Structure 1
Amino acid sequence: MSVQWFPGHMNKARREIEKVMPQVDVVIEVLDARIPDASQNPMLTTLRGDVPVLRLLNKKDLADKKRLALWLDHWKDSDSIVAHPFSTQDKSDVTKINQWVRQMVPHRGTAEKPIRAMIAGIPNVGKSSLMNALLGKRVAKVGNEPAVTKAQQKLKVTNGFQVLDTPGILWPKIENPDASYRLAVTGAVRDTAIDYEEVALAGLVFFINDYNDELVKRYKLKTAPKDPDDTLNIIGSKRGALRSGGVIDVHKAAEVFLSDVRSGAIGPYVMETPDMVEQEWQKVEEVKAKKEAERQARLAAAVPQRQQEQNKAHRDKRSDEPKTE
């Protein structure tokens, strides 16, 4: 199982990005620092082709610095990728963007030949907040939910720097099921498209394995949690997610937990490492290869049956033909 969400306006946004990409000098891809890989859109990677990309690992204040450093090291030798921890709330970070893009596109940056940058990324990573911070005024609608921006906007930051804001887009099929749950846990998928309890349990499995102490501290647990279902019930009990008769409202408990995860109330975290993601993709490829082998086997098994049917049809046709003396 995996979480999927690709409403119609996202397909329209993809076509618009593809149309204007030839006019773009650099892509500013806003990522969620807590999921540096899952928040990358492989469709955007395909669409940008050779266009260099500045990856801003936004919400750095919510991210585990040690794990974030693993990703910066992972990308450091790339010729077309520059990555920096980032926060739209940090004015010094915002002012550095002009410098970063000029270093990446040194042949442009004048009034006659301004740098044309596209701001892109998946839903709810902070693209509109970045646009507003760059321009020093509210020009893009901001909301703490995915898919707030629905259309492109082209605006001038300085005489030598223009930005094009785009709607947040996911991709039609998220092949890595683990990544799809990380997207849902951090809020990139609209809540109406997810099963709260299922997503919360997936998040709890991660925190129990990787940030157990933070769970103990946040929810004042007596012992380290081990089972996600038990932990979700304890959270519900401690945070008043109860129905009449003192029964745990698991849905409400899941809402409480996911709210804490997304706001950073549990503490800074990063849900993936380069090595972990590589192992996950190996599993994805193994599953795809197995399915393809099974499909080929079914086709091969069907050949004799089809041949028999064809032979019978040929015999029937001959039997219907008039006999000649």
Structure 2
Amino acid sequence: MWGPLRNAAPPILAKSCTILSFAAPALVLAAQSGHFRRMDQSRFESLKSRALALWRAHGRETPVPGLVLTVSEVPAGPFHGLYRTSFCGVLQGAKASHLGERSYRYNAGECLITSLDVPVRAEITEAAPDAPYIAFAMDIDPGVVAELILELAAGDPASLPEPAALSVHPLSDRLIGPLERLMALAEEPRDLPVLAPMIQREILWYLLTGPQGAMMRQIGLTDSRTARISRAIAWLRAHYTGAVSVPHLAALAGMSPATFHRHFKAATAMTPVQFQKSLRLQEARRLLLSEGADVAQVGFAIGYESPSQFSREYRRMFGAPPGRDGAEIRRSLAVDARA
């Protein structure tokens, strides 16, 4: 996944929301408490056991396409990464994800819906050897959501609320059964390619018709504000080394510059320029993991003309200058590899 340093930096690749990142407490947005007590505890425990067994057998990447698992016996992070459009649920422990100045905290029995590919900071906040953090993430296919919207005969997209990149919700009881069946398919290679898409479609239907429905419609409707902003984000990810032109991005989104700027910040908690800077610096950190990567060369590769500005903004985001931060990360990875 990590390639060598090149003169032209590659497009930013997004990951599912089990990728973990940094914490900076600010505005906290979380689901209402109390739903966990209403959940079928025995079925929830069965799902948790299934997920843990699947992780022990296969690790993070499961045989089920688009489904990954995270298990940790200790609090972890901060880390930086990109969340892609996905449905993530915590089965044990707790996690916090941070987008700009917004913080989203979710515990066992809660889920995070990600509607846009966005750069985040996140951390596992609760985990222990006798009660490890256990979570799953399933990719959301906007095309499948669009098909389901036709079945739902949803209303006028103009009535949809302001888009948001992240949102926390209770993990509803009716999602537990299909999630466990989806995980069980990992051990059924003959059935997996036929049944997995059906079960994933069932899960997306329950999300579309549940408390997350408005957000899911934003994902599936091709002319929704979320879809329009997503087009601009895709362009930023592919061209993050160049200058940001808000009028150009607005044209891609089919909005006036002022309207685009307002909706982009409402969805991502960042301006387009701040979004691009986050993409650049996360790519710089990735490149610095390569042994012998020159700090100035990395800065130029991601679009900075001034080495001092690159070092200053890198330190502001990651808490250490690029050379030292890269060396510390490589050293910690070497320790982990020997452990």
Larger Rg: 1
More strand per residue: 1 or 2?
Answer: 2
Q: TM-score normalised to the size of structure 2?
A: 0.26
